[in-house]
A = this chain, B = another copy of it.
Amino acid sequence: MATGRTHRPATRSRGIPEATVARLPLYLRALTALSERSVPTVSSEELAAAAGVNSAKLRKDFSYLGSYGTRGVGYDVEYLVYQISRELGLTQDWPVVIVGIGNLGAALANYGGFASRGFRVAALIDADPAMAGKPVAGIPVQHTDDLEKIIEDNGVSIGVIATPAGAAQQVCDRLVAAGVTSILNFAPTVLSVPDGVDVRKVDLSIELQILAFHEQRKAGEETAAGDGALPTAAPRGATADDSADQGPDGDVPAVMPA
């Protein structure tokens, strides 16, 4: 997954392990589906299958939230939906700003999954003056100059960065200075932030590279005999302009306007 925490080595926040927190949205999605089908209760086995985890893990995860199940029966779907929503903080409204309205930013702005989970796109921000005022997903784009004011006026604490890599750190700094304490970063850069600010990273390029690694391993499982294990006289010369040479490569998170 294109995931990646930063900071806080593994602070088990109020007793709930990070790994469990990361799975709660998964459970919530499966439970919501059951709820829509008016299923009253579900066993750990069934829910685990729906969420793609094993049942022991699911039960342990739920045990961190409290004893919400009934032995011999299972879990009350509606009740669990409520408890998980509350635990994740989805019962309140989270205004979000998206900075960088290129191809990706626009796609994110149109994302329907925002509103249904308590996230509200409070503003779209872009550095291009030509974009200003132009509506994207029904929301007029505002200029970067007003970033601080927008953050403060709307009480925004979550920011999404979808700018080119070069602008990301600067945007990040301004967001943080204006009061944002959680950032979802789509730009292919490592952001540095002060303590107390959470950053999560989504990086398409990294995901593909990880897949390529496994793909290569699968392909070369029987081909490889005694290939490249030792650094014995590797082709050091033929490497220089092997992967570079084609301009500023991953400079944009997922394509800019054009």
Contacts and interface: CB of A to CB of B under 8 A. Distances in A.
Interface of A: 1-6, 13-14, 21-22, 24-26, 28-30, 32, 35-36, 50-52, 66-68, 76, 78-79, 81-83, 85-92, 94, 96, 102-104, 106-119, 137, 157-158, 181-184, 188, 190, 192, 196, 198, 200-219, 228-231, 234-236, 239-240, 242-244, 246-247, 249-256, 258
Contacts of A247: 116
A1 B198 contact: no
B230 A25 contact: no
Given A22-B206, A252-B111, A181 B215 contact: yes
Given A118-B243, A157-B219, 16 more contacts: A1-B202, A25-B210, A50-B190, A67-B231, A78-B240, A82-B235, A89-B216, A94-B215, A110-B255, A111-B253, A111-B255, A112-B256, A113-B251, A115-B246, A182-B212, A202-B204
A109 B198 CA distance: 29
Contacts of A83: 234
B86 A228 contact: yes
A117 B68 contact: no
Contact of A117 (B106, B107, B236, B249): B249
How many copies the complex holds: the figure is 2
Of the candidates A67, A88, A207, A218, the one having the most CB atoms from chain B within 10 angstroms of its own CB is A207
A58 to B, nearest CB: 13
A87 B90 CA distance: 41
A25 to B, nearest CB: 4
B200 A250 contact: no
Contacts of A68: 231
Contacts of A85: 242-243
A187 to B, nearest CB: 11
A91 B78 CA distance: 51
Nearest to A103: B107
27 contacts: A1-B1, A1-B2, A1-B201, A2-B201, A3-B207, A6-B52, A22-B210, A66-B229, A66-B231, A78-B240, A81-B239, A82-B234, A82-B235, A89-B215, A96-B208, A102-B107, A106-B107, A109-B255, A112-B251, A113-B250, A113-B254, A116-B250, A158-B208, A158-B215, A184-B204, A184-B211, A200-B207
